[in-house]
Amino acid sequence: MKKTALALAVMLLACLLLTGCGKDQVMDVYGAAVAAFGNVGLDSALTLKGEREFGEDKYTGTYTAEYEDFTGRECPFGGTFLERREQEHVTVSCTIERESGAASLCWNCGAAEPVVLAQGEGTFTETAYLAPGSNYFNLEFEGFTGSVELTIG
């Protein structure tokens, strides 16, 4: 973490001193670095149980998966930003078909407690207003057998 902070500080200082960047350019560089580091919280396509397709950015898209007695967490969408150029809200639709076990969809937004958007089984639709900072959509399972379809747009 210290190396990451040092690299970010060096990039910002170089932008200021070497290229004569103004405040807006420094904030753009800083925002891009924050976004790049924020993608670390997403699961890679190789570790996800299902198929993910991103939409306009890493906060939107579709995800479908089948599970067999799965316990764990998957994070198919989200990230960290200072200023999101697209709309400030997203519509989250989730269908959970459960044979056994438990499943839920949680929205983790910054330091606030996670918000449960879907739980149990059925079709759920919610609107999430994305504030600057971290916003991740996590699927959480306990001995779950069934399927999940998630669309965020």
Sketch the domain layout of the chain as residue ranges: 2-38, 43-152
**pLDDT per residue as tens, the chain (153 positions):** 455 555 655 665 565 556 666 655 544 544 444 444 444 468 999 999 999 999 998 999 999 999 999 999 999 999 887 675 656 889 999 999 999 999 999 999 877 799 999 999 999 999 999 888 889 999 999 999 999 999 999
pLDDT at 19: 62
Q: Packing angle between helix 2-19 and helix 23-38, nearest 10 degrees?
A: 150
CA 15 vs CA 22, 106, 149: distances in Å: 9, 38, 43
What are the b/e assignments for 94-115, b being 16+ CB within 10 Å? bbbebeebebbbbbbbeeeeee
pTM over 0.85: no
pLDDT at 131: 83
Residue type, 115: V
CA 9 vs CA 24, 31, 37, 82: distances in Å: 16, 13, 14, 16
The CATH code belonging to domain 43-152 is 2.60.120.380
The residues near 104 (Cβ < 8 Å, ≥ 6 apart) are 116, 118, 119, 120, 139, 140
pLDDT at 110: 77
**11-18 contacts: CB < 8 A, separation 24 or more?**
none
